[in-house]
Amino acid sequence: MKIRMSAAAAACLAAGAFACPAFALDFPSRKPGLWEIQTGDGTGKGPGHTMQQCIDAASDKALRDMGQGIGKDMCSKQELRADGGKLVMDSVCKVGNTVATSHAVMSGDFSTSYRMESKSTYNPPLMGRAEGASVMEAKWIGPCKADQKPGDMVMSNGMKMNALDMMNNRPKRP
């Protein structure tokens, strides 16, 4: 069974790639400007998505801070460690009734590019899948465009949204 990623899910993945939970080791900040982010299943067979995201230091930090709250609520294990110039993340998170166990490796300089490869298992299966893999590659393509503000994302289908506005408009947790 193939699962297609919606534009909103791709946006969350792209935003969430840096919206990681709080770790003892600091997550690197990305260079301010316009980033092109490609996501796929790592096989090259499934449909991939490309989006652009405009960030500044404040929006990059806000996205990481958002992930801290999500991770704290959903994950029983969150580890980040440096290993030979790469960042290795391991987590165990609850997604509905499913436990997702994930391992991800990030590499790059975060000024011009970075890459994340992740593999997950789902118990019980999530949407019919017992496991999954993804690859995300991002590259800095220059300053944000004149009509963009930090947090703006342009999805592969042309849909535009602002991650910061979405965060500010979401219902507050009790």
* 98 is a domain residue: yes
Read off the pLDDT band of 174 (50, 70, 90).
low
Would the pLDDT of 3 be above 80?
no
Secondary-structure percent of the chain, ordered helix, strand, coil, rounded to 5:
20, 45, 35
Would the pLDDT of 64 be above 60?
yes
* 174 is a domain residue: no
pLDDT value, residue 173: 56
* 63 is a domain residue: yes
Would the pLDDT of 138 be above 90?
yes
* 29 is a domain residue: yes
* 2 is a domain residue: no
0.75 surpassed by pTM: yes
Give the phi and the psi of residue 107 in degrees, each rounded to 5: -140, 160
Number of independent structural domains in the chain: 1
Asked if 153 and 53 touch (Cβ cutoff 8 Å), the reply is yes
Read off the pLDDT band of 34 (50, 70, 90).
very high
Read off the pLDDT band of 172 (50, 70, 90).
low
Q: For 81-130, write each residue's pLDDT tens digit.
A: 999 999 999 999 999 999 999 999 999 999 999 999 999 999 999 999 99
CA dist., res. 52 & res. 81, Å (int): 28
* 163 is a domain residue: yes
CA dist., res. 86 & res. 117, Å (int): 11
* 1 is a domain residue: no
Count of CA atoms in the C-beta half-sphere (13 A) of 23: 21
CA dist., res. 30 & res. 16, Å (int): 13
**Residue 157 sits in which domain range?**
7-168
